[in-house]
Amino acid sequence: MSTFVPAARVDQMRESPSVAAAQRVRELRASGREILDLTVGEPDFDTPDHIKAAAVVAMDSGLTKYTPVNGIPALREAISKRMLDRTGVEFADNEITVGGGAKQVIFLALMATVEEGTEVIVPAPYWVSYPDMVTVHGGTPVVVDCPESDRFLLTAEKLAAAITPATKWVILNAPSNPTGAVYSERELAELATVLDRNPHVNVLCDEIYDEIVFTDAPVPNLLSTAPHLRDRILVTNGVSKAYAMTGWRLGYGVGNKGLIAAINKLQSQSSSCPSSISQAAAAEALTGDQSFVTTSVASYRARRDVIFELFSRIDGLEPVLPQGAFYLFVGCSGLVGKRTPDGTLLENDQDVVLFLLDHASVATIQGSAYGAQSYFRVSFATSEDVLRNAAAAVEKAVASLS
């Protein structure tokens, strides 16, 4: 028997449900099953060649050592320029950090600020990692239910009601994983009014999907809407999604210099810095040819339209049209309460997801993993063929329910 006992705070942590779902697909495939995998949270495209070439140049020219903790100057300059272009707000060098993915930047930002008694407002549906990243540091995630009737977004009233003297952060993620919802400028302005009244509350804006949008105009952001709040806003972003670079592990955070310094201190004692080679590649991604973003977003948009249309036709399913990211959130309350051909009752979204896996060989992720019951998430970062086959298999399986 192992004598190794994890710390209680780690013991309480759930494994990421999306990582677990991907593992389940791998196991089923290894056992010989053909699975149509709609769980994947990453682009199916390869990293563009000019970005790979920049990595090769970096390696050949000796950029293979530790870098400054907060990243190479060329990358920080690229981030600063991008933030200025997108938000109109200028950020100094000491207000920018880079890390091993946006995930790590968010983790360190919370580690730097959350302790026993700290409350963090997490609107649901939420990205699966936020609550666990709060609890592991002793804090309390205050989950605020944001129903479909509010487009799954946090309203000013709900924000105001959730704030207590212990609130340190509210996390806003738009375009959202899992719903693809985005805030309008008016909605952001209303949230800003509540924040004006509560100067102890900071905002973590997770903008990892901000390039992947299907609206004609760029999606609004809190910094542009309320630049006077700049010292209380941490924007996190990265190159994973927009440039198909999930494996390069490179993200960044921009905000208050005191917070950035604390994140850098933690980084100096943990990873030291993200990969030097990935940093050079990310600088090229942000400053080089942007045509990949345009063509990949056009492709995601076409796929969104296909899967939305096909799922809309299936009795009992109610997909919600996403404005960004590459996920379709599908209401499945119409299937809950039905019975499978072998007589099993579908009691909740988890049962629906298992039914689709068993009877349609289609892998999805239950909404309850995102804090929203009676939905499931479908990723459309996969080929139209897979999407069409998956929709046909789901339609057939659903028709067998009684």
| Binding residues vs ligand PMP (CB under 6 A) | 41, 101-103, 127, 173, 177, 206, 208, 238, 240, 246, 251
- Which lies closer to ligand PMP via its Cβ, residue 310 or residue 365? 365
CB of 207 to ligand PMP, least distance (A): 9
b/e sequence 117-149, b meaning 16+ C-beta within 10 Å: ebbbbbbbbbbbbbbbbbbbbebbbbbbebebe
- Which lies closer to ligand PMP via its Cβ, residue 58 or residue 106? 106
Q: Which two tokens stand for residue 375?
A: 């939905």
By DSSP bridging, strand 365-366 and strand 362-363 are unpaired
- Which lies closer to ligand PMP via its Cβ, residue 236 or residue 361? 236
- Which lies closer to ligand PMP via its Cβ, residue 170 or residue 208? 208
CB of 316 to ligand PMP, least distance (A): 27
Nearest of 230, 250, 292, 264 to residue 84 by alpha carbon: 230
Centre a 10 Å sphere on the Cβ of residue 268 and count the other Cβ atoms it contains.
13
Nearest of 300, 291, 309, 289 to residue 212 by alpha carbon: 300
CB of 246 to ligand PMP, least distance (A): 5
Task: Please list the helix, strand and coil fractions of the chain in percent, rounded to the nearest 5, in that order.
Answer: 45, 15, 40
Q: Which two tokens stand for residue 31?
A: 């056992």
CB of 99 to ligand PMP, least distance (A): 9
CB of 196 to ligand PMP, least distance (A): 26
**Contacts for 78 with CB less than 8 Å, ≥ 6 apart:** 282, 283, 286, 287
CB of 392 to ligand PMP, least distance (A): 28
Cis check for the bond before 220: say yes or no (omega within 30 of 0).
no
Helical pair 276-287 and 49-60, crossing angle rounded to 10 deg: 140
CB of 208 to ligand PMP, least distance (A): 4
- Give alpha helix (H) positions in 288-370: 291-312, 349-360
- Which lies closer to ligand PMP via its Cβ, residue 127 or residue 152? 127
- Which lies closer to ligand PMP via its Cβ, residue 109 or residue 401? 109
Centre a 10 Å sphere on the Cβ of residue 359 and count the other Cβ atoms it contains.
18
Q: Which two tokens stand for residue 384?
A: 């139209």
| C-alpha atoms less than 13 angstroms from C-alpha of 16 in its C-beta half-sphere | 14
3-state class of 172 per DSSP?
strand
- Give alpha helix (H) positions in 166-249: 185-197, 222-225
Question: What does the angle CA 225 – CA 147 – CA 392 come to, to the nearest 5 degrees?
Answer: 110
Residues 204 and 228 sit within 8 Å (Cβ to Cβ): no
- Which lies closer to ligand PMP via its Cβ, residue 147 or residue 247? 247
Q: How far apart are CA 376 and CA 199, in angstroms?
A: 36
Which residue number places its CB atom closest to ligand PMP? 101
CB of 238 to ligand PMP, least distance (A): 3
Nearest of 232, 160, 223, 235 to residue 201 by alpha carbon: 232
- Which lies closer to ligand PMP via its Cβ, residue 212 or residue 310? 212
- Which lies closer to ligand PMP via its Cβ, residue 99 or residue 139? 99
- Which lies closer to ligand PMP via its Cβ, residue 139 or residue 251? 251
CB of 49 to ligand PMP, least distance (A): 21
